[in-house]
Chain A
Amino acid sequence: MMIFSIKKHQDNKNSWRSAIPNLGVIISITVLAFMMFCALFAHWLSPYDPSEINLLNKLMPMSAEHWLGTDHLGRDMLSRLLHATSISLGAVFITLLLMLAIGISVGGFAGFIGGRIDQGIMRICDVFMTFPTVVFALFMVAVLGTGLTNVIIAIAVTHWAWYARLTRSLVINIRHSDYLRAARLSGVPPIRRFFRHVLPSVFVQLIVLATMDIGHVMLHISGLSFLGLGVQSPTPEWGVMINDARQFVWTQPALLVWPGLCIFLNVMAFNLLGDALRDKLDPNLSH
């Protein structure tokens, strides 16, 4: 990998194309760092309580007191956006961790064991992959009930199969490698073999897939919240905020623009980062 990246770097040295991905990476990392900062310190950064209703100040334009104005209940937009960022990003990361955990354990187990068990597990994966994820997630929420936790569970349950399948194919590749055979002959027990020799190389590829998936998951969570299935109204969340502002789309479009812009920037940044990571780390993709 090291050699590969060095070689690539030399190839790209004189090419104008090298400037574009780097710019994309810089932008996306800057945006993400800023968003993470906002998410982590939302509590201290926000000037007002995000749920504090003040009907006297409703639908205020941007001003020195309310940098981004106020919404139809007089709540401070900036405070709400900051808190929404922390909820949305937090939910995305928890979903992702859950998906990775299920995907790696199921796919890793199937690939490492092989045989009939592997075939059985893969058929189950196929079943999960045939359903359109949105419809399946809606069904799951209908079964489990509304709420952020249930949305997270629904999305993880509908998405783990892709991770399981990728993990399995990577594990099978490594299982036939000489170094795993050597480790087996040296008496290294199976669990340690899996964690030391199989997981690290699988993880690199999975991170690429996960980064490219974050935007998708983020839209999913916001979409379900917009429909009123996820985060419930007084709690700030991008989808909820857009839903709340729906009726003011002609009179106060800014109420829709700010949370929309947040979703757009985050999804774009994660997608750019995912593409860049794939270009750097995927040896099958040579230019």
Chain B
Amino acid sequence: MSLSINNLSVFLPTGQTIVDNISLTVNRGEIVALVGASGSGKSVAVTATLGLLTRGLRMTGNIFLDNKPIDYTHARGKRIACIIQNPASAFNPVYTMKQHAIETLKAVGLPHDINSIYDAMKDAGLEDLERVLHLYSFQMSGGMLQRMMLALALMSKADYLIADEPTTDLDLIVQSHILQRLKHIAHDRKLGILLVTHDLGVVAKLADRVAVMSQGKLVDECNVMQLFDQPQSEAAKKLLNAHYAMYATDINSQSAKASVTLDNESKETTKELFSA
């Protein structure tokens, strides 16, 4: 029970290779992160996996769903759900969220009762469901739309979820809540998730396994602890260094110091408050 990409290559019309012979397997119930710098070919690889390459691009290799060559008309939506980038343009501005939800349920052949819509929306961390369902996409924030898209993906009860940057527009509180929920759902419902991201924070919280892409090649594939402890490839080291540079060089000592200074400061302010 797996979604596997075998020896996938994608070529430009000029013959230049943009995805070079990658193989990757996502088992049900497992979360695999595909990381890499911008332009490393992650999104193209995912687009090719879904059979939606732009006209002119050529691909070789095979995609297998549960060990059978994938049949897109049956797989899309019903077996593999998707969260695409740019939630703001992913909804038709003419329809409300409710109409989108019903369309999704119809497309996968599920009965469209309101409770299953509500359940999926709760899972995606949405609140005030009644009101949200009657909104149009231009009346909602990027974060709400991203959660709605996740809700639509969960609603379809697909076995696999391909998520391209699913948490970029969310604030940190909502982000961590949703990552928690996703992790639960993946393990409870045996949902296989292929997570495309360049945010290693998300990877650390969510992923079981990590595949690192660099210049169209798959340069590293390991479990998530290994990536953070002993990164093998140059690309992985670069990503990690950049990540640490963003959030303090040496996490342990820096954060310890920070908490001490904070403590002292807060004591002083409390004193001042009381004396005043």
A185 and B103 within 8 A (CB): no
Contacting pair B50 A179 (CB below 8 A): no
**9-residue interface stretch from A26-34, A193-201, A235-243:** A193-201
Could you say which of B52, B89, B92, B95 contacts A185, with CB atoms under 8 Å apart?
B52
List chain A residues, Cβ under 8 A from B55: 114-115
Nearest B residue to A196 by beta-carbon distance?
Answer: B103
B2 on interface, CB distance cutoff 8 Å: no
CA distance A189 to B103 in the complex (A): 11
Minimum CB–CB distance from B46 to chain A (whole Å) comes to: 11
- Interface residue? B76 (CB, 8 A): yes
By beta carbon, the residue of chain A nearest B54 is A176
Name the prevailing secondary structure of the A interface residues.
Answer: helix
- Residues in B88-117 with C-beta less than 8 Å from chain A: 89-92, 94-95, 103-104, 106-108
Q: How far is the CA of A188 from the CA of B156 in the complex (A)?
A: 12
Is A10 close to B, CB under 8 A? Answer: no
B91 and A200 form a contact (CB under 8 A): no
Contact A187-B89, Cβ < 8 Å, known A178-B84, A181-B84, A196-B103: no
Q: Is the CB of A182 within 8 A of B82?
A: yes
Q: Are B107 and A187 in contact (CB under 8 A)?
A: yes
B117 to chain A minimum Cβ distance, whole angstroms, is 14
Given the known interface contacts A114-B55, A187-B77, A188-B77, the answer about A182 and B103 at a Cβ–Cβ threshold of 8 Å is no
Which of A177, A184, A197 gathers most chain B CB within 10 Å?
A184
B123: min CB distance to chain A, Å: 17
Question: Contacts A114-B55, A179-B89, A181-B52 known; A186 to B76 CB distance under 8 Å?
Answer: yes
A179 and B93 alpha carbons, distance in the complex (Å): 9
Verify if B244 is at the interface (C-beta below 8 Å from A): no
Q: Which residues of B contact A200 (CB under 8 A)?
A: 94
Q: Which residues of B contact A184 (CB under 8 A)?
A: 52, 76
A179 and B82 form a contact (CB under 8 A) = no
A178 touches B86 (CB 8 A): yes
Q: Is B247 an interface residue (CB 8 A)?
A: no
A56 at the interface (CB under 8 A from B): no
Chain A residue contacts of B108, Cβ below 8 A? 186-187
Contact present for A187 and B76 (CB under 8 Å): yes
* CB-CB nearest in chain A for B92: A179
Of B55, B95, B106, B107, most A-chain CB atoms within 10 Å? B107
B135 smallest CB distance to A (angstroms):
13
Does B198 reach chain A (CB closer than 8 Å)? no
Residues of A within 8 A of B138 (CB): 3
Q: Return the contact of A178 from the options B81, B89, B106, B156 (Cβ within 8 A).
A: B89
| B94 close to A178 (CB less than 8 A) | no
For B149, the chain A residues whose CB sits under 8 A away are 182
Confirm or deny: A172 has a beta carbon within 8 angstroms of a beta carbon on chain B: no
User: Which of A3, A179, A183, A188 gathers most chain B CB within 10 Å?
Assistant: A179
Find chain B residues with CB under 8 A from A189 CB.
73, 107
B residues within 8 A CB of A177? 89
**Per-residue contact bits, chain B 51-95, to A (CB 8 Å; 1 contact, 0 not):** 010010000000000000000010011100110101001111011
A187-B78, A187-B108 are known; give 9 further A-B pairs, CB within 8 A: A179-B89, A182-B91, A184-B52, A185-B50, A185-B52, A186-B107, A188-B106, A196-B92, A196-B95
Closest 8 CB pairs of A and B: A187-B77, A178-B89, A185-B82, A186-B77, A187-B76, A179-B92, A188-B107, A187-B107
Show 17 residue pairs from A and B whose CB-CB distance is below 8 angstroms, ordered by the A residue: A3-B138, A177-B89, A178-B84, A179-B92, A183-B92, A184-B76, A185-B77, A185-B84, A186-B104, A186-B152, A186-B156, A187-B73, A188-B107, A189-B73, A196-B95, A197-B92, A201-B94
> Which B residues have a C-beta under 8 Å from some C-beta of A?
50, 52, 55, 73, 76-78, 81-82, 84, 86, 89-92, 94-95, 103-104, 106-108, 138, 149, 152, 156
